Amino acid sequence: MDILIQQLINGLVLGSVYALVALGYTMVYGILELINFAHGEVTMMGAMVAVAVMGMLMGAAPDLPGVWVALLGLLAAVSACMALGYVIERAAYRPLRQAPRLAPLITAIGISILLQNIAMMIWGKQYIPFPRILPEARHNILGASITDVQIAILGLTLVIMAGLVWLVNRTSLGRAMRAVAQSKSVAQLMGVDVNKVISATFLIGSGLGAVAGVMVSANYGQAHYYMGFLLGLKAFSAAVLGGIGNIAGAMLGGLLLGVIESLGAGYIGDLTGGFLGSQYQDVFAFAVLILVLVFRPSGLLGEKGVERA
Amino acid sequence: MKMFRSRPWLGISLLVAALLVLPLVVDASLGRSWVRVFDFALLYVMLALGLNIVVGYAGLLDLGYIAFYAVGAYTWALLASPQFGLHLPFWAILPIGAGVAALFGILLGTPTLRLRGDYLAIVTLGFGEIIRIFLNNLNEPVNITNGPQGITLIDPASLGSFSLGQAHSVFGLELSAPHFYYYLFLLFACGVIFISLRLENSRIGRAWVAIREDEIAAAAMGINTRNIKLLAFAMGATFAGLAGGLFASFQGFVSPESFNLLESIMILCMIVLGGMGHIPGVILGAVLLTVLPEALRYVGDLQRVTLGRVLIDPADLRMLLFGLALVLMMLFRPAGLMPSIRRKREFSETGQP
Amino acid sequence: MKWSALAVALVAALSFVACGRKPDAASDGAQIVKIGQSSPLTGPQAHLGKDNDNGARLAIDEINAAHPVLAGKPVVFELVSEDDGADPKTATTVAQRLVDEGVVGVIGHLNSGATIPASKVYADAGIPQISPSATAVKYTTQGFKTAFRVMTNDAQQGKVLGAYAAKLGKKIAIIDDRTAYGQGLADEVEKAAKAAGEDVVAREYTTDRASDFMAILTSIKSKSPDVVFFGGMDPQAAPLVKQMRQLGMKAQFLGADGSETPKFIELAGPDAEGSIASMPGLPLESMPGGQAFKQKFEAKYGEIQNYAPYAYDAARVMVDAMKRANSAEPAKFLAELPKTDFQGVTGHIRFDSRGDLAGGSITLYQVKNGKWTVLETVKSAE
């Protein structure tokens, strides 16, 4: 029993991060119908900037409490990634808004390669450790253990999701975003500044990505210029699982994928009588994804019958 | 076909002659490694043309295309290596490999018929990963693929007793394995190009385009969308299986790490960069993206000549420039370097594809 | 029109490249002898690749500083380094490129996955290859006369590790990263552990890109092993150890050469304490010249990552064979390589009939007070 609870906690922590990154994919997709392949790299940049800023802070002000250093690092990462997201959209995606569908996808792949290599040149080819400034106490919940960082991840994700739901459903920016997602031209006719809304979407999505990046590196204790690729891929799968373009779907998809991966890796051996082991954990995750999509072609919460091609 | 009418054979015969002497000139000037690069370029031409059928013609975004290449490569590796002690001749394995790949194409196509656009993309991506993971792990409980260690000592292609894997002297010229494979690949690439050309303007080709443009309208016009979509998957997979088999024989070694997601993405980049749905464009894209990363190895020498010293490690700069090239290319030629006429028209007139 | 345009472009390009070849520049009349080096200089393992490059470079620089003479003529060695991206396909292209550039021998590659396909190209060209770090058994069992390595292979190291694990406790859990390196080693450890009467309670898997191991560790924890062996590299080993402690697991962590790095301690912090890992060869500090090598290397390139000493030895073994053959011709000094009897900084280097390191030693290290300290050295069976 305590094993099951532990696996669920593992899955939820993993899933929270997926969900945050997935939100970035899904928001951009909802509005531009573009798979922003570079989003995983934006997340990586967030982690790298945070680690670098924290290192500088610890050198400049050694008396600052660890939590403050971490918060300032997070703040720096979020602002840097927002700026990055804004620049990427302006420079690489906006000129291609009328281009054939796959052209911006290739640009996104190019940006992704570019960002990886820029990060490699700035921070080197090495894994860099996340400074040990956060409390590392372990707590016991029903026989399962959870760390402070993991509790912070779960809590922060919850707060951010609630905030985002409020933003999309209750504010004028949120209304404008929904309008642009439905139809850019009609929204424009109704007086919505489409470019502004798209920029805002990129700012928010990149900011969320930065938070996720910092969480990942804090949780695993390291950051690396290559860390964004796999994370982005998983998060993108999560967004599709939930129904891409749908914000609640991204949250659900992220959490679900995390739990599926965790349970899959933990129990696949017992389920198949030892025939398949944890080497097939990704197969398990993808198989669930494929099964869901085969029976619900627009994802779990995606709108049905909408032609997007 | 205006180009064939004005002066039909001059251009083509010039092209054929250039392609035939290419490996000899390259070997003598740039070195044998470049012959190898062009070998790979021809493999990628086959792969890109195969993917072009699925993505370019039928408009089905496939991100797991490399899986079929892997299937072809492993089929060859298992049937012509010490792994199972089988050593089938290459004229027997190639069709088997292509056939098995086609089967996998249908296997992937069937459950995904209802999926569209990006949902299809993620499912195909998952499919590609699943194939790779299985190849990586099928060494237990029964050793089939030898797992991450890969399969070594794969037989080279041979015609009778003439093995393409060794150096021979032909007409007084000392030719090596990369040369022979170049001509073999060229032969197959021409075959693939020919089939693609014939398909483009056939009933099937037009049906694919109809599905790409509007699936519901296509179905209303009496096109059997299910069969036509499956045919696209199978056809694309066949080309990839063929290329995979040739790759295995050329390399003499296959391991799962050669068939990762990045390869699928690269092939997609080739066709989009060159001009989707347009055969010369796709060929150009494939050659360009194979040659470019290799050519960028020289940026170190370039720095030394122009700046007097190496400022930035060329190995670091290589992929950076590659990423930059992709972005700039798309910004200035979003329809590809050599777009098809239809696409060009769509792009200039309405702006909305 | 387009076809002929293409043809013209092709012909133009061909004539352009035909004039593009540049001759080898000889500096002060000395004959230049090129030695190749190949490792991943980009991608996730770039830091290890650069380390190998630096190790070989230091050796070449030192040899050149001594003004070497072969067959009565002064020679200058030049290291030609190429990026193989740890990718088997790129590795063969790069191998061919090195052959084209006229290298007489190759130090490399880093990964077994890249080394094996490349070895075929070198064998065809008759160019000797010494890998500093490829450990897959297959590399030297293909029957190529040109393939050598200065590191013990998976079977040799796995035997030592499996036997050592039996000393640490009765129950062992084995994890590998499903790479040629990790899987090969883990299989050998499993075999040896079983032979030593060990109970293998769990066999779990991850990937070389993963950073979350909570799920498999939770499952391992329920089987309460005494030892957890991980076959893989430090970017995975460090978070793995951290997460073991996070879950409250007390089991002994056991790793191999992929984990025995300063980076492991840096990344895992206090959780690294007590971890044990093996490294082929003898401890650098106890070797003649080892301390000096370390100081020189660190002054020039910073901390040693992992395999730099092996790359250093590999380059010196190759030049040593040339000196004995008194020639830099591959065919001539290739005949001398099997007779190698060289005192390197990683140990005494001799080759067996397949090109494997004969009777290599393996040293076990433990993290004590944030440093890898020597536990014991085991001589591997031949």
Q: What's the confidence (pLDDT) of residue A19?
A: 96
- Residue A184 carries which side chain, given as an amino acid letter? K
Q: How confident is residue C186, by pLDDT bands cut at 50, 70 and 90?
A: very high
Q: H or E stretch including A101?
A: none
Give pLDDT tens digits for A81-121.
Answer: 999 999 999 999 999 988 877 788 889 989 999 999 999 88
Q: What's the confidence (pLDDT) of residue C204?
A: 93
Which residues on C lie below 8 Å from A147 (Cβ)? 246
- B273 to chain A, any CB pair closer than 8 A? The answer is yes
Q: Do C44 and A124 touch (CB under 8 A)?
A: no
Q: What's the confidence (pLDDT) of residue C52?
A: 94
Q: d(Cα B42, Cα B183) in Å, to the nearest integer?
A: 10
pLDDT: which is higher, C137 or A78 = A78
Q: d(Cα C108, Cα C105) in Å, to the nearest integer?
A: 10
- The radius of gyration of chain B from alpha carbons, rounded to an integer in Å, stands at 21
> Which residues of chain B, if any, have pLDDT below 50?
1, 349-353
Q: How confident is residue C13, by pLDDT bands cut at 50, 70 and 90?
A: low
Omega cis (within 30) before B278: no
Give pLDDT tens digits for C194-207.
Answer: 999 999 999 999 99
Q: How confident is residue C101, by pLDDT bands cut at 50, 70 and 90?
A: confident
CA dihedral A77, A81, A83, A89 (to 10 degrees): 180
pTM for the full model?
0.88
Q: What's the confidence (pLDDT) of residue A244?
A: 86
Give pLDDT tens digits for A219-230.
Answer: 999 999 989 988
How far is residue C158 from each of residues C192, C229, C255, C361, C365, measured CA to CA in Å?
7, 11, 11, 12, 15
pLDDT: which is higher, C127 or B320 = C127
Give pLDDT tens digits for A238-288.
Answer: 998 998 888 999 999 999 999 999 998 888 877 777 777 888 888 888 888
Q: How far is B179 from chain A (nearest CA, A)?
A: 33
Q: What's the confidence (pLDDT) of residue C7?
A: 58
Q: What's the confidence (pLDDT) of residue C61?
A: 95
Q: What's the confidence (pLDDT) of residue B215?
A: 87
Query: Where does chain B have alpha helices with state H?
Result: 2-6, 8-29, 32-51, 66-79, 90-109, 117-137, 177-200, 203-213, 215-220, 225-251, 261-274, 279-295, 299-307, 314-332, 341-349
Q: What's the confidence (pLDDT) of residue B343?
A: 66
Q: Say what percent of chain C tops pLDDT 70.
A: 92
Nearest CA in chain A to C177: A279
Q: What's the confidence (pLDDT) of residue C25?
A: 44
Share the mean pLDDT of chain C: 89
What is the distance of C-alpha B328 from the center of its chain? 23
Q: d(Cα A22, Cα C370) in Å, to the nearest integer?
A: 38
Q: What's the confidence (pLDDT) of residue C3?
A: 56
Q: Do B116 and A116 touch (CB under 8 A)?
A: no
Q: d(Cα C271, Cα B172) in Å, to the nearest integer?
A: 67
* Phi–psi pair at A138, nearest 5 degrees: -105, 145
Q: d(Cα C151, Cα C132) in Å, to the nearest integer?
A: 6
Query: Where does chain C have alpha helices with state H?
Result: 2-18, 46-65, 88-100, 112-125, 138-141, 154-168, 180-195, 214-221, 234-246, 262-268, 290-301, 308-325, 330-336
Instruction: Select the residue from B152, B284, B320 to test the C interface by mutation, using most C Cβ atoms within 10 A.
Output: B152
Instruction: Select the residue from B327, B332, B338, B342 to test the A interface by mutation, using most A Cβ atoms within 10 A.
Output: B327
Q: What's the confidence (pLDDT) of residue C6?
A: 58
Q: Do C82 and B178 touch (CB under 8 A)?
A: no
Q: What's the confidence (pLDDT) of residue A63?
A: 87
Which residues on A lie below 8 Å from B134 (Cβ)? 283
Q: d(Cα A253, Cα A259) in Å, to the nearest integer?
A: 10
Picking from A171, A239, A195, the residue whose alpha carbon sits closest to that of residue A31 is A195
Share the mean pLDDT of chain A: 90
- The two structure tokens encoding residue B226: 């299910």
Q: Say what percent of chain A tops pLDDT 70.
A: 97
Between the two ends of chain A, the Cα-to-Cα distance in Å is 46
Q: Do A265 and C234 touch (CB under 8 A)?
A: no
Q: What's the confidence (pLDDT) of residue B353?
A: 42
Which residues on B lie below 8 Å from A237 (Cβ)? 122, 125-126
Give pLDDT tens digits for A149-160.
Answer: 999 999 999 999
Residues 6+ apart with CB under 8 A from A70: A54, A133, A134, A218
- State the angle between helix axes of C290-301 and C308-325 in degrees (0 to 180), rounded to the nearest 10: 110
- Token match 């290459």: residue? B90
Picking from A62, A59, A57, A88, the residue whose alpha carbon sits closest to that of residue A74 is A57
Residue C23 in this model has a pLDDT that exceeds 50: no
Give pLDDT tens digits for C303-313.
Answer: 888 899 999 99
- The two structure tokens encoding residue A6: 């532990």
Q: d(Cα C232, Cα C154) in Å, to the nearest integer?
A: 12
Inter-residue contact A266 to C215 (CB < 8 Å): yes
Inter-residue contact A47 to A217 (CB < 8 Å): yes
Inter-residue contact C40 to B45 (CB < 8 Å): no
Q: What's the confidence (pLDDT) of residue A12?
A: 95
Q: What's the confidence (pLDDT) of residue B208?
A: 94
Give the one of A279, A294, A309 whose C-beta lies nearest to B137's C-beta.
A279
Give pLDDT tens digits for C70-83.
Answer: 988 999 999 999 98
Q: What's the confidence (pLDDT) of residue C220?
A: 94
Q: What's the confidence (pLDDT) of residue B304?
A: 65
Rounded mean pLDDT, C54-66: 95
* Chain B adjacent subunits, 3+ CB pairs under 8 A: A, C
* Phi–psi pair at C76, nearest 5 degrees: -120, 125
Cα angle value C111/C291/C132 (rounded, 5°):
15
- C246 to chain A, any CB pair closer than 8 A? The answer is yes
Give pLDDT tens digits for A34-70.
Answer: 889 899 999 999 999 999 999 999 999 888 888 899 9
